[in-house]
A = this chain, B = another copy of it.
Amino acid sequence: MSKYWSKLVASVEPYVPGEQPKDRNYVKLNTNENPYPPSTQVLEAIKATANESLKLYPDPNGEELKRTLANYCGLKKEQIFFGNGSDEVLAFAFMAFFDPEVPVLFPDITYSFYPVYANLFKIDYELIPLKDDFTLPVEQFFKPNGGIIFPNPNAPTGEYITVEAIEEILHHNQDHVVIVDEAYVDFGGESAQSLIDQYPNLLVVQTFSKSRSLAGLRVGFALGQEELIQGLERIKNSINSYTLDRLALAGAVEAIKDEAYFQATRNKIIRTRERVSDELGKMGFKVIPSKTNFIFISHPTVKAEELFLKLKEEAILVRYFKQPRIDNYLRVSIGSDIEMDRFLEAVRKITAG
């Protein structure tokens, strides 16, 4: 605390990302990164852009990237907003679409950045408790609110609702913006983007960090009707005209273009997830059905915190959330098959112990 801080900065509770320890070489299954490298097309495009052009500002509107994604998605480029990772997109969306007076709704167990944004921008919120099986109680979102945000699939549970369920939520909430955070949708879910034409209040947010293996490049985006996109652009252009550097713009274009690589890697991750879920089920674990690149698991006898600490001793990092309802679960990112075999072996040893 400092006498020079604004009331705002004194009141915020910043987000804490998953640990990135450097003391030893871990099997890193704690931040939902992709185990496979980015497409070589992406790497080549970045190298080709590492030239004299870096002396010049990037295109503040990312026109080429928007055109490329528009073509891929079947949307207009005016229906696309890019940001420095989907976290920045989400922060701007809180500013652009939510007002302080009427509470916005989001699940009690969800991406822990949402309450951080709400606190920062002084936006009231009401937590909607997930059902006991961690599924989203869709009808609980049919009440007066100032906006809605939820991840689909949800994090850290991996649970998924159908596009039909999302449409029900949209149908009951036509006066406020509904943000569907699809950070993990490429691992087996169906995007709500097919509803954009019909619902002017729908904003779909996605990222290149997971399914495109580009967490280190910082590229996220939002899809929606032009009015919503213009709202995001107005916030962005009141903070920073150039949020994506030239290298990120160039790399992201190629990530979209290399569809074959994208399909191959996400399918590999899905296959590994299914295999590991089966193995863990056989060991007696409860495994929440996942449509993401992570699984959310609980053991009948070994406490999650104990398992977390013992895995760390074995140089395997997973994510443990010490919070109500989920403090006996671990979130485990899906790594390569070799990494997951090491994980399974360690778990077998610890739970047999």
* Chain A interface (Cβ < 8 Å from any Cβ of B): 2-9, 12-17, 20, 28, 31, 33-38, 42-43, 46-47, 50-60, 84-85, 87-88, 91, 95-99, 116-117, 119-120, 175-177, 200-201, 209, 213-218, 227-228, 230-231, 233-248, 251
Contacts and interface: CB of A to CB of B under 8 A. Distances in A.
A147 B153 CA distance: 44
A6 B245 contact: no
B99 A6 contact: yes
A63 B238 CA distance: 28
Contact of A14 (B12, B33, B237): B237
B43 A50 contact: yes
B37 A52 contact: yes
Contacts of A175: 3
A6 B233 CA distance: 13
B95 A9 contact: yes
A200 B4 contact: yes
Contacts of A242: 17, 85, 87, 215, 218
A52 to B, nearest CB: 4
B240 A54 contact: no
Q: Which of A33, A54, A200 has the most CB of B within 10 A?
A: A54
11 contacts: A4-B176, A4-B201, A15-B238, A47-B50, A55-B214, A56-B215, A88-B243, A91-B240, A117-B238, A218-B244, A247-B248
